[in-house]
Every structure is written in structure tokens, then in C-alpha cells.
Amino acid sequence: MIAIVQYNAGNTGSVQNALARLGCESIVTDDSNELLKADKVIFPGVGEARSAMSFLREKGLDVVLKSLNQPLLGICLGLQLMCSYSEEGETACLGVFPNRISRFVKPEIVPHVGWNNVSYREDRLFKEIPQDTDFYFVHSFFADLSEDTAAVCNYGESFSAALARDNFYAVQFHPEKSAAMGQQILKNFLAL
């Protein structure tokens, strides 16, 4: 079973639809027990860091998500919340990855909306994906580079387009909105 984390941060429906196109059933839940027994967990998000983290803490999901042993995929805000700190609302986040989340500094390019190319290191999440493939982004904040950076994108400056360590994966772009290559990312995650 695939569990999609419900935490009032949007885009769970589009992720569930993308999984259904792959023939994969999923549930949307904020129940800790459901998340713990799922085969894989997807942590999507469109929203604001402080209120999202507040909801996760109220439900105890901050502790649950960090403790998962099965593959977990963060998407967009999910990636940002898996990092250590966000400038958005000066928010302490989950700390799965050591990265810091900052706002793009050039206001004329905020938010980053649209297709942009991604270069990646060898990682199972990018199997059968050509280097410099375009993926769809919508964000105003970004993760800096670290040893956990699995893919890089440049939008005025280089940032982590994907992070990976152990069973934790995260992408800043939206695979559910990134056509065939986004579907391949989801397929690769489901195959982990």
C-alpha cells in the first residue's frame, strides 16, 4: 500500500491521480498507524512551511515521518520540510536532510514557475531519465546544496532539485505534473 501524507498542504489529489495512472492504489491519510504500515510513503505539498510544520507537530507526524524505514518521497514543500530549517516563517523543520531552505534573492524571478532542466548524480530515483531532462517547478524557496544533493537545477543560482539518503528521497519539482519523465520518477520510486 502507498500512503500519501495528508497535512493540509495541497496537491494530494494530483499525486493520487498520477499513481492511479500507473495502476497503483493509494490512500491519503494523516493517521500515524497507516503511515507506519504503508509499503511506501509520499509526502507532497503546496503551501507554507510554518503552518504545515505546525500541523505535522500537532498530529505527531513530525516524529513519525523521521522514523520511517520504508521509502519516503517528499515533493516540493515536502522536500523543504524534510530539511533542517526554512527561512519561510523562520521554521525549524524535520531535519532529515541538513539543508537550509532560502528564498530566491532576485524578486523578478520569484516564484520559479515552469519547466527547467535537472542534472543528477547516479541514483535509483533517476533510472532511465536522460541527463538535463526538464521537470515542472512551482516554488519561491529552495534547498541549498549538500552531500545529500542528488540532482541540481539552476534558476538564478544552483539549488537542490532532489535529495537522497538511505530510504529518504525528495524532489523540488512536481513529478505528478512533469509528463512522461515525471511518471518515470514515480515508477522508479515505486520500484524501490
Catalytically active residues, by annotation = 76, 174, 176
Quote the strand ranges of the chain, DSSP E.
2-5, 26-29, 40-43, 72-75, 85-86, 91-92, 100-103, 112-120, 133-139, 141-143, 149-154, 158-165, 168-171
- The contacts of residue 120 (CB under 8 Å, 6+ apart) are 126, 129, 131, 150, 151, 152, 161, 162
Number of helices (H), then strands (E), in the chain? 6, 13
What region, left, alpha or beta, does residue 128 occupy, with left being phi > 0 and alpha being psi -120 to 50 degrees? left
